[in-house]
Amino acid sequence: MEKIMAEDLTGATTSPKFHNFIGSTNTTEIKLPPWARFFSAQCVTKDIFVCNEGATDGQAPPFHKSPVPKGQIIQLRIGQGMEQAMSMFVACQDGTGEIAVIVEE
């Protein structure tokens, strides 16, 4: 089992916050800052999955996920208060690739 280190953006102080990392076919957790309201993700070279429900850092993507074709971007409203997501998860559909995420107020 591959151990992935979560990408921790909780200390980010500017919006938008741009962050890039190398992703694999296992999910990488992106820990969101408390002010985050929107989350975007894309990979220009690989198709990716974005998810949060049922996902665990370093594991295979869960059943509930959204595919994002390479070169496309997905933007999600992540809620506020009790409904706010504290983390999102991203994985490449195959191989590895540079994943770009943007977190906004």
Q: What is the bridge-based pairing of β-strands 87-92 and 48-51?
A: antiparallel
Query: Could you give the domains of the chain?
Result: 7-104 (2.60.120.10)
At residue 79, the pLDDT reads 81
38-91 pLDDT, tens digit per residue, is 999 999 999 999 999 999 999 999 999 999 999 999 999 988 887 788 999 999
pLDDT band at 1 (very low <50, low <70, confident <90, very high): very low
| pLDDT of residue 3 exceeding 60 | no
> What is the rounded CA–CA span in Å between residue 53 and residue 65?
8
pLDDT band at 4 (very low <50, low <70, confident <90, very high): low
80-94 pLDDT, tens digit per residue, is 887 788 999 999 999
| DSSP 8-class letter at 71 | T
Query: End-to-end CA distance of the chain, in Å?
Result: 35
Query: Which regions of the chain does DSSP assign to beta strands (E)?
Result: 7-8, 17-23, 28-31, 38-42, 48-51, 66-68, 73-77, 87-92, 97-104
- Say what the pTM is: 0.93
